[in-house]
């Protein structure tokens, strides 16, 4: 009986420590995919060239920036790449979260925010029009 009592007391001590200190914060390792992939590997994963990704980023960056870097905020380029990865693969948010080193709920908010900003800020012109325009 003493053994069971000791286990219960140990569990109580752990709970009290959690109450006093709080749940330990989980910090994710985030890769810099824009710089780590060459052009072809980048295109295979995100379905845009680096040049086009920068163009899109320039259009929506001001809407994605946070006024402060509190809580390890995610830079606009990483937000864009997370959303592009989701759009390119149509994959589950969990696998995108694992790929980006971001919590799943954060990925959901990022994808929604980036999609909204792209829809509001970009004028979609089909690639075929660019090709015809350049041939003339």
Contact 64, 117 (CB under 8 A): yes
* The model's pTM: 0.67
- Confidence at residue 70, expressed as pLDDT on a 0 to 100 scale: 67
* Cα 99–chain centre separation: 9
Contacts of 74 by beta carbon, 8 Å cutoff, 6+ apart = 30, 82, 102, 106, 110
pLDDT band at residue 4 under the 50/70/90 scheme: low
Dump pLDDT digits (tens) for 112-135. Answer: 999 999 988 776 555 554 554 555
- Confidence at residue 129, expressed as pLDDT on a 0 to 100 scale: 47
Q: Which two tokens stand for residue 112?
A: 């929604």
Mean pLDDT of the chain: 79
Which range, of 79-88, 105-114, 120-129, averages the lowest pLDDT?
A: 120-129
Dump pLDDT digits (tens) for 39-76. Answer: 999 999 999 999 999 999 999 999 888 777 666 788 89
Contacts of 27 by beta carbon, 8 Å cutoff, 6+ apart = 72
């Amino acid at each position: 009986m003493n053994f069971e009592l000791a286990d219960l007391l140990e569990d109580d001590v752990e709970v009290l420590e959690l109450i006093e200190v709080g749940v330990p914060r989980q910090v994710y390792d985030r890769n810099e995919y824009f710089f780590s992939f060459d052009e072809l590997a980048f295109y295979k994963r995100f379905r845009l060239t680096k040049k086009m990704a920068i163009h899109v980023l320039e259009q929506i960056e001001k809407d994605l920036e946070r006024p402060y870097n509190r809580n390890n905020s995610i830079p606009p380029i990483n937000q864009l790449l997370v959303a592009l990865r989701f759009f390119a693969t149509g994959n589950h948010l969990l696998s995108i979260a694992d790929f980006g080193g971001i919590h799943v709920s954060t990925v959901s908010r990022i994808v929604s925010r980036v999609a909204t900003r792209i829809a509001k800020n970009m004028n979609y012109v089909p690639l075929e029009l660019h090709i015809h325009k350049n041939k003339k």
